[in-house]
């Protein structure tokens, strides 16, 4: 039935469709829950939402709960996973449609899972995909502007995420990022017991658990919680907060710090999340970053930049950078406002910029690139190379790289499709990198 939506949009007058659209989405949510017997009633369902870091937190929380001996299912933009069985998410959709979502929960229940962890998007909430799912806990990573056109403003985007917390029962758990400016709004919008996490402390049941960050590199993190040492193969300062979000939620469910540490010790980089495809003689990294905040976090991680914001405002940093960045921006009416910001951030951090296609769909990729370049100075625009064929762009970056450089390819991560006008083609930035590196070696 969910396939009816595109057809209805074409044949029903727009004002009529918009009037009945909420009822349509609610009906689908109800039918899906009925079809699969309301499976969430026999599971502890955890929703993970926020602008950045959702997929990483879902994965980490799955590992931590499993480390404590629980049977766990999880759903993210990367994969569907039930205990140790998994399959890639090929839907190009972070939060799937209602029938697929309820089916996943039913499969979790049938396989004896106690927990089901679901990546929850604001657009999914806007389309009522979360309805008729009994969430017992929710985790907030952060909230920065995203999907602004789809929601009609930042406040509406943020309100869609608050809705997940508003639906939690008083006996539920709300895991909130105290360092996020919107944390107070989420705290005021939930009845659930709040577990706070921040860079310096996790607060559970009003008891503080001190956090100390010991070491950060692009491919490893070391920290302490309550004087217990934890180490992970995840890298970058932004992953400190992802680890703390997952750890705080696991602790709220009674998971010991020793089980959390054991899970982290086994953790390497997630597919397409600050993932090193090559390390020598130059590094090649693939990351899913889409928002301006995520772009800056990734570039900082790879340059290990600890500059204050006032220092980063100057554009001289790119002159000594060893970063060669390849990126574009998606189409489909998605956040056109951020395109100049991506250009401005890349110009500050990257020695060389190659602009390319990133899911252009029905939009002119050349126009997308012009909008990215509008965030650069005239000199920076002249230095930026434009290669709209994404494979050619990756090939050029690898050819231009010198020993010690880092080629960072952002926007697609481990996504399995490249969306072009009139259809899609199979894609994986990591696979393309390996193929082009092999060609360079032979030539």
Query: Contact, 101 vs 118, CB < 8 A?
Result: yes
Q: Rounded to whole angstroms, how far apart are CA atoms 6 and 122?
A: 20
Query: Contact, 8 vs 110, CB < 8 A?
Result: no
Tokens 């000594």 belong to 320
> Do 133 and 10 fall within a single domain?
yes
Pairing of strands 115-119, 72-75: parallel
pTM for this predicted structure = 0.91
Q: What pLDDT sits at residue 45?
A: 98
> Do 71 and 112 fall within a single domain?
yes
> Do 167 and 254 fall within a single domain?
yes
Q: Is the pLDDT of residue 307 over 50?
A: no
> Do 261 and 285 fall within a single domain?
no
Domain range for 320: 275-442
Q: Out of 244, 265, 286, pick the residue that ends a domain.
A: 265
Q: Rounded to whole angstroms, how far apart are CA atoms 77 and 288?
A: 11
Burial category of 86 from C-beta neighbours within 10 Å (exposed 0-12, middle 13-18, buried 19 and up): middle
> Do 301 and 246 fall within a single domain?
no
Mean pLDDT for all residues in the chain: 91
Q: What pLDDT sits at residue 311?
A: 40
> Do 358 and 419 fall within a single domain?
yes
Q: What pLDDT sits at residue 310?
A: 41
> Do 261 and 311 fall within a single domain?
no
Residue 270 lies in a domain: no
> Do 336 and 364 fall within a single domain?
yes
Angle 164-211-240 from CA coordinates, rounded to 5°: 60
Residue 37 lies in a domain: yes
Q: Out of 237, 265, 293, pick the residue that ends a domain.
A: 265
| Length of the chain (residues) | 443
Q: Rounded to whole angstroms, how far apart are CA atoms 73 and 102?
A: 13
Q: Out of 265, 291, 306, pick the residue that ends a domain.
A: 265
> Do 377 and 437 fall within a single domain?
yes
Q: 340: domain CATH number? A: 3.90.190.20
> Do 100 and 240 fall within a single domain?
yes
Residue whose C-alpha is closest to residue 299's, from 218, 396, 403, 385: 218
Residue 287 lies in a domain: yes
pLDDT in tens, 354-363: 999 999 988 9
Q: What pLDDT sits at residue 141?
A: 98
Residue 337 lies in a domain: yes
Q: How many domains does the chain have?
A: 2
Residue 436 lies in a domain: yes
Q: What DSSP assignment string belongs to 22-39?
A: HHHHHHHHHHHHHHTT-G
Q: What DSSP assignment string belongs to 48-93?
A: EESSS-HHHHHHHHHHHHHHTT--EEEE-SSEEEETTEEEE--SS-
Residue 171 lies in a domain: yes
pLDDT in tens, 80-134: 999 989 999 998 888 998 999 999 999 999 999 999 999 999 989 999 999 999 9
User: Which ranges of 350-403 would DSSP assign to H, the alpha helix?
Assistant: 365-373, 378-383, 390-400
Residue whose C-alpha is closest to residue 142's, from 59, 272, 49: 49
Provide the terminal-to-terminal Cα distance of the chain, rounded to the nearest Å: 52
Q: 229: domain CATH number? A: 3.40.1190.10
Q: Rounded to whole angstroms, how far apart are CA atoms 200 and 423?
A: 47
Position with higher pLDDT, 182 vs 92 = 182
Residue 217 lies in a domain: yes
> Do 26 and 46 fall within a single domain?
yes
Q: What pLDDT sits at residue 147?
A: 73
pLDDT in tens, 136-181: 999 999 999 887 777 778 999 999 999 999 999 999 999 999 999 9
Q: Rounded to whole angstroms, how far apart are CA atoms 272 and 428?
A: 9
Tokens 């029903």 belong to 12
Q: What pLDDT sits at residue 333?
A: 60
> Do 107 and 210 fall within a single domain?
yes
Residue 42 lies in a domain: yes
Position with higher pLDDT, 1 vs 125 = 125
């Amino acid at each position: 039935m969910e396939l009816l939506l595109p057809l209805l949009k074409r044949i029903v007058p727009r004002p009529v469709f918009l009037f009945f659209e909420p009822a349509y989405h609610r009906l689908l949510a109800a039918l899906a829950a009925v079809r699969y017997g309301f499976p969430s009633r026999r599971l502890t369902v955890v929703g993970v939402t926020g602008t950045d870091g959702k997929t990483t937190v879902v994965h980490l929380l799955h590992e931590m709960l499993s480390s404590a001996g629980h049977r766990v299912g999880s759903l993210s933009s990367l994969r569907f996973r039930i205990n140790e069985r998994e399959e890639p998410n090929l839907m190009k959709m972070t939060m799937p449609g209602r029938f697929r979502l309820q089916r996943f929960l039913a499969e979790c229940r049938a396989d004896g899972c106690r927990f089901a962890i679901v990546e929850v998007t604001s657009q999914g909430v806007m389309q009522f995909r979360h309805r008729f799912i009994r969430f017992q806990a929710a985790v907030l990573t952060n909230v920065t502007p995203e999907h602004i056109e789809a929601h009609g403003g930042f406040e509406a985007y943020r309100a869609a995420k608050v809705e997940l917390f508003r639906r939690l029962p008083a006996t539920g758990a709300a895991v909130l990022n105290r360092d996020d400016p919107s944390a107070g709004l989420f705290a005021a919008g939930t009845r659930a017991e709040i577990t706070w996490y921040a860079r310096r402390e996790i607060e559970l049941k009003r008891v503080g658990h001190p956090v100390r960050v010991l070491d950060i590199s692009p491919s490893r993190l070391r920290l302490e919680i309550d004087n217990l040492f934890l180490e992970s193969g995840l890298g970058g300062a932004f992953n400190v907060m992802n680890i703390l979000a997952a750890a705080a939620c696991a602790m709220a469910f009674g998971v010991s710090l020793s089980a959390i540490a054991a899970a982290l010790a086994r953790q390497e980089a997630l597919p397409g999340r600050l993932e090193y495809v090559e390390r020598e003689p130059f590094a090649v990294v693939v990351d899913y970053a889409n928002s301006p905040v995520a772009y800056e976090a990734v570039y900082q991680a790879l340059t290990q930049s600890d500059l204050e914001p006032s220092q980063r405002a100057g554009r001289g940093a790119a002159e000594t950078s060893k970063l060669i960045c390849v990126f574009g921006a998606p189409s489909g009416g998605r956040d056109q406002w951020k395109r100049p910001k991506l250009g401005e951030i890349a110009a500050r951090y990257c020695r060389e910029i190659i602009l390319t296609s990133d899911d252009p769909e029905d939009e002119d990729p050349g126009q997308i690139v012009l909008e990215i370049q509008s965030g650069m100075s005239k000199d920076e625009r002249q230095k930026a190379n434009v290669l709209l064929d994404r494979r050619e762009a990756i090939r050029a970056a690898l050819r231009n790289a010198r020993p010690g450089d880092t080629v960072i390819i952002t926007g697609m991560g481990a996504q399995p499709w490249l969306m072009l006008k009139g259809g899609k083609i199979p894609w994986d930035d990591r696979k393309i990198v390996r193929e082009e590196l092999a060609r360079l070696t032979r030539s």
